[in-house]
């Protein structure tokens, strides 16, 4: 071997040794990340998580009742009365967009049996209407208007049908109903929510709904859809039409205890079940007016009423389904449009700024220690779902807390927002809030979002501590905010300035 060859071999050996050493050094200095805690079952699906984050969606009750000044049609209405000469679905969608709403659910068929699309299985539909000379399709109009604006569409198909003579004959009617489901879910693109309810008049014919067949068909035709009914399987009714959830509200419940129709436990729907085996979050349906369909003599609810509903639905771990009915011209009335804009503006005003954003934050402990990825600073970032504070598993379960301290002169606030990392399960059972050492609020569940609107009005605080008193496993808090609501005036106590213990 020549001298040159020996030098080349030596150089290659030295290079390999240096490269190996660098790799070993890189491995030794790489930070080992602590894995997330185990989830607590049941968990939400991807579609359920997306649904929950919408917070407010829109219902559109529209049909023959709009022209008869009715809430429940008889089923004997002449389709010719349906004639919305100025119908403009783009106006509906623009109203929703400006209200921050990303999903609109239309009553494709209400209890009267009249269909807003040209169904092949009945002539009790827009086929018999003078609107667009019988060639109209309200669902198509909505889908065409919604798609370019990035708004999703949902559909309501009433199980109870007061018009069709097959109703009361189990097999014949279920065949008809399934045929219409196939029409709706095959012909109008992605449908994000399908709405089934249990409403039925006392004198209605006895009728068995083939629910398992319906649900299976829906999931076969639309893989990313959520199915709403009293019994889910994806979204449950909250149990009232006021838009109020229970002060305790679990997204978990036992579906085997639920059913569509009479005899359902409304209280159970309202609160859910901490031991529930199914993830079935609640949807709060309420109308912007007194009625569900448009009536000329009605006006929209006042802004303070809508905010009250928001705090008691979205602020209690639910989604708000707000009905905004088009009028007999086929437009959403100006008064309703204006009230929706005021509602969205108020929400943005209240929650657009987190007054604790720059505060120092500390916690009782943190999983993985400092730098482990689960520190309390996560609750002040912009991700309200997948970054979170997690305490150690071995911490005393009676002493979970997270505390915020002002870096300046403190702030005035009257709303405290708390959110859990629900992607790993709902956990918190009881919690308390302290301002400068004084307890100012307490509650039970948190879930996706809990909003505490302080009963005493606004306080001036220098430190805020949230204590988790009871939890299913370790609590995982994804976001905390302090907010000021200028529209809230406590009825019991006037606004006061809070004096901390250390300065008393």
Average pLDDT over residues 157-181: 98
Each residue's pLDDT tens digit, 363-404:
999 999 988 899 999 999 999 999 999 999 876 666 899 999
Compare 262 and 216 and report the one with higher pLDDT.
Answer: 216
Token pair of 134, please? Answer: 């019988």
245 touches 314 (CB < 8 A): no
379 touches 480 (CB < 8 A): yes
H or E segment at 184?
helix 170-187
- What CA–CA distance (Å, rounded) separates 226 from 223? 9
Each residue's pLDDT tens digit, 462-487:
999 999 999 999 999 999 999 999 99
Residues 6+ apart with CB under 8 A from 137: 116, 117, 118, 126
Token pair of 430, please? Answer: 């009881």
Token pair of 326, please? Answer: 């088009």
- What is the DSSP track for 209-244? --HHHHHHHHHHH-TT-EEEETT-SSEEE-SSSSS-
Beta-ladder partners of 278: 253
Residues 6+ apart with CB under 8 A from 319: 51, 52, 54, 55, 56, 57, 235, 281, 282, 283, 284, 313
What 3-state DSSP class applies to 471? Answer: strand
Q: Is the pLDDT of residue 10 over 50?
A: no
Question: Residue 56: which of 313, 268, 302 has the closest Cα?
Answer: 313
374 touches 367 (CB < 8 A): yes
223 touches 46 (CB < 8 A): no
Please provide the average confidence, as pLDDT, over all residues in the chain: 92
* Dihedrals phi, psi of 340, to nearest 5 degrees: -65, -40
Output DSSP code: residue 205.
P
Q: Is the pLDDT of residue 182 over 90?
A: yes
Q: How many C-beta atoms surround the C-beta of residue 304 within 10 A?
A: 12
**What's the farthest any 2 CA atoms get from each other in the chain?**
107
Where are the extended beta strands (E) located within 3-151? 56-60, 103-109
Q: What's the confidence (pLDDT) of residue 15?
A: 45
Each residue's pLDDT tens digit, 231-270:
899 999 999 999 999 999 999 999 999 888 767 899 999 9
- What CA–CA distance (Å, rounded) separates 190 from 113? 24
Q: Is the pLDDT of residue 169 over 60?
A: yes
72 touches 291 (CB < 8 A): no
What Rg do the C-alpha atoms of the chain give, in angstroms?
Answer: 28
Beta-ladder partners of 360: 405
336 touches 288 (CB < 8 A): yes
- What CA–CA distance (Å, rounded) separates 162 from 159? 10
Q: Is the pLDDT of residue 326 over 70?
A: yes
- What CA–CA distance (Å, rounded) separates 441 from 190? 43
């Amino acid at each position: 071997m020549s001298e040159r060859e020996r030098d080349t071999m030596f150089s290659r050996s030295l290079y390999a040794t240096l490269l190996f050493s660098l790799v070993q050094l890189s491995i030794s200095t790489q930070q080992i990340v602590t894995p997330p805690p185990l989830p607590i079952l049941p968990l939400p699906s991807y579609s359920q998580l997306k649904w929950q984050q919408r917070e407010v969606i829109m219902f559109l009750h529209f049909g023959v009742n709009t022209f008869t000044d009715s809430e429940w049609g008889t089923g004997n209405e002449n389709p010719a009365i349906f004639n919305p000469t100025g119908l403009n679905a783009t106006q509906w969608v623009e109203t929703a967009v400006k209200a921050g709403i990303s999903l609109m659910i239309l009553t494709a068929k209400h209890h009267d049996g009249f269909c807003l699309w040209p169904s092949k299985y009945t002539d009790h539909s827009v086929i018999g209407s003078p609107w667009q000379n019988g060639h109209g399709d309200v669902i198509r109009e909505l889908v065409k208007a919604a798609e370019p604006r990035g708004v999703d569409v949902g559909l309501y198909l009433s199980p109870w049908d007061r018009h069709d003579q097959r109703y009361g004959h189990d097999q014949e009617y279920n065949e008809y109903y399934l045929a219409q489901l196939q029409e709706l879910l095959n012909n109008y693109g992605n449908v994000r929510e399908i709405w089934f309810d249990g409403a039925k008049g006392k004198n209605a014919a006895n009728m068995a709904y083939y629910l398992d067949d319906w649900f299976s068909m829906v999931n076969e035709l639309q893989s990313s859809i959520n199915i709403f009914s009293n019994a889910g399987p994806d979204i449950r009714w909250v149990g009232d039409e006021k838009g109020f959830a229970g002060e305790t509200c679990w997204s978990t419940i036992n579906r085997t205890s639920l059913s569509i129709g009479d005899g359902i436990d409304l209280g159970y729907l309202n609160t859910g079940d901490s031991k529930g085996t199914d993830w079935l979050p609640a949807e709060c349906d309420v109308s912007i007016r007194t009625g569900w369909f448009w009536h000329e003599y009605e006006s929209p609810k006042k802004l303070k009423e809508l905010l009250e509903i928001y705090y008691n639905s979205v602020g209690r771990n639910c989604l708000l389904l707000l009905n905004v009915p088009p009028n007999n011209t086929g437009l959403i009335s100006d008064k309703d449009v204006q009230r929706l804009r005021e509602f969205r503006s108020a929400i943005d005003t209240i929650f657009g700024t987190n007054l604790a954003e720059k505060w120092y934050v500390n916690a009782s402990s943190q999983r993985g220690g400092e730098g482990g990825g689960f520190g309390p600073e996560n609750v002040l970032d912009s991700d309200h779902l997948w970054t979170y504070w997690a305490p150690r598993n071995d911490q005393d379960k009676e002493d979970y807390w997270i505390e915020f301290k002002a870096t300046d002169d403190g702030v005035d606030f009257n709303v405290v927002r708390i959110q859990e990392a629900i992607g790993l399960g709902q956990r918190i059972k009881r919690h308390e809030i302290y301002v400068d050492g004084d307890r100012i609020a307490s509650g039970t569940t948190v879930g996706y979002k809990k909003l505490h609107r302080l009963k005493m009005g606004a306080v001036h605080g220098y430190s805020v501590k949230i204590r988790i008193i009871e939890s299913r496993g370790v609590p995982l808090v994804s976001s905390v905010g302090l907010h000021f609501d200028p529209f809230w005036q406590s009825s019991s106590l006037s606004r006061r300035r809070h004096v901390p213990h250390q300065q008393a």
